Chains A and B, each alone.
Chain A
Amino acid sequence: MRAVVLGNDVYAYTGARAVDTGHPSVVFVHGAGNDHSVWALQSRYFAHHGWNALAVDLPAHGRSGGAPLASVEALADWLVAFLDAAGVAQAALVGHSMGSLAALECAARHADRVSKLALVGTAAPMPVSEMLLEAAKRNDHVACELITGWSFSAAKQLGGSQVPGLWLTGNGLRLLEREKPGVLYADLAACNGYVAGETSAAKLRCAVLAILGARDLMAPARNARALIAKFADARVVTIPDCGHSLMAEQPDAVLDALRAFLIPAT
Chain B
Amino acid sequence: MRYHTNALSAARPMTKPKTPHFDTLSLHAGARPDPQTGARATPIYQSASFVFPDSDHAAALFNMERAGHVYSRISNPTCAVLEERIAALEGGVGAIATASGQAALHLAIVTLLGAGQHIVASRALYGGSHNLLDFTLPRFGVTTTFVDPRDLDAWRTAIRPETRLFFGETLGNPGLDVLDIPRVAELAHDHGLPLLVDSTFTTPYLLQPFALGADLAFHSATKFLSGHGVVIGGLLVDSGQFDWDDPQARGKFPTLTEPYAGFHNMVFAEESTVAGFLLRARREGIRDFGACMAPFTAFQILQGIETLPLRMARHVENARRIVAFLAAHPLVESVGYPELPTHPDHALAAKLLPKGSGAVFSFNLKGTRAQGRTFVEALKLFSHLANVGDAKSLVIHPASTTHFRMTADDLVRAGVTEGMIRLSVGLENPDDLIEDLSRALYAAGKV
User: Hey, which chain A residues are within 8 Å of B275, CB to CB?
Assistant: 166, 171
Q: What residue of chain A has the Cβ atom nearest to residue B274's Cβ?
A: A174
Can you give 20 contacting A-B residue pairs, CB < 8 Å?
Answer: A35-B273, A37-B273, A40-B271, A45-B66, A126-B3, A127-B1, A132-B3, A148-B17, A160-B32, A164-B77, A165-B79, A165-B87, A167-B84, A170-B92, A170-B94, A188-B3, A217-B7, A222-B7, A223-B1, A255-B65
Whether a CB of chain A sits under 8 angstroms from the CB of B436 is: no
| A-contact bits for B68-79, CB 8 A (1 contact / 0 none) | 110000111101
| B-contact bits for A139-156, CB 8 A (1 contact / 0 none) | 000100111111000010
Whether the pair B4, A164 counts as a contact (CB closer than 8 A) is: no
User: Hey, which chain B residues are within 8 Å of A245, CB to CB?
Assistant: none
Q: What residue of chain B has the Cβ atom nearest to residue A34's Cβ?
A: B273
CB distance from A18 to the nearest CB of B (A): 11
Partner of B1, one of A37, A42, A158, A220: A220
In the complex the two chains form, what is the Cα distance from A16 to B278 in whole Å? 19
Whether a CB of chain B sits under 8 angstroms from the CB of A159 is: yes
CB distance from B289 to the nearest CB of A (A): 16
Most buried by B among A45, A145, A157, A174: A174
User: Hey, which chain A residues are within 8 Å of B77, CB to CB?
Assistant: 164
- Taking A146-B17, A149-B19, A158-B28 as contacts, is the C-beta distance between A167 and B273 under 8 angstroms? no
Whether a CB of chain A sits under 8 angstroms from the CB of B83 is: yes
Whether a CB of chain A sits under 8 angstroms from the CB of B285 is: no
User: Hey, which chain A residues are within 8 Å of B63, CB to CB?
Assistant: 44, 48
User: Hey, which chain B residues are within 8 Å of A132, CB to CB?
Assistant: 3-4
Chain A, 111-126, CB within 8 A of any chain B CB: 123, 125-126
What residues make up the interface of A, taking CB atoms closer than 8 Å to B?
11, 13, 16, 35-37, 40-42, 44-45, 48, 62-63, 123, 125-132, 142, 145-150, 155, 157-167, 169-171, 174-175, 177-178, 188, 191, 217-220, 222-224, 251-252, 255
In the complex the two chains form, what is the Cα distance from A96 to B274 in whole Å? 19
Whether a CB of chain A sits under 8 angstroms from the CB of B136 is: no
Partner of B4, one of A36, A128, A155, A163: A128
Chain B, 200-218, CB within 8 A of any chain A CB: none
Whether the pair B92, A167 counts as a contact (CB closer than 8 A) is: yes
Whether the pair B272, A217 counts as a contact (CB closer than 8 A) is: no
Whether the pair B66, A41 counts as a contact (CB closer than 8 A) is: yes
- Taking A129-B14, A170-B88 as contacts, is the C-beta distance between A165 and B95 under 8 angstroms? yes
In the complex the two chains form, what is the Cα distance from A145 to B74 in whole Å? 32
* Residues of B in contact with A, size category: 35 or more
Q: What residue of chain A has the Cβ atom nearest to residue B80's Cβ?
A: A164
Q: What residue of chain B has the Cβ atom nearest to residue A32's Cβ?
A: B3
Q: Is chain B's interface secondary structure helix, strand, loop, or mixed overall?
A: loop
Whether the pair A171, B3 counts as a contact (CB closer than 8 A) is: no
Whether the pair B96, A159 counts as a contact (CB closer than 8 A) is: no
In the complex the two chains form, what is the Cα distance from A43 to B95 in whole Å? 24
Q: What residue of chain B has the Cβ atom nearest to residue A255's Cβ?
A: B66
User: Hey, which chain B residues are within 8 Å of A142, CB to CB?
Assistant: 16
Whether a CB of chain A sits under 8 angstroms from the CB of B85 is: yes
Most buried by B among A41, A44, A146, A170: A170
User: Hey, which chain A residues are within 8 Å of B29, CB to CB?
Assistant: 158-159, 167
In the complex the two chains form, what is the Cα distance from A145 to B91 in whole Å? 13
Whether a CB of chain A sits under 8 angstroms from the CB of B270 is: yes
Chain B, 98-114, CB within 8 A of any chain A CB: none
Q: What residue of chain B has the Cβ atom nearest to residue A170's Cβ?
A: B93
CB distance from A201 to the nearest CB of B (A): 15
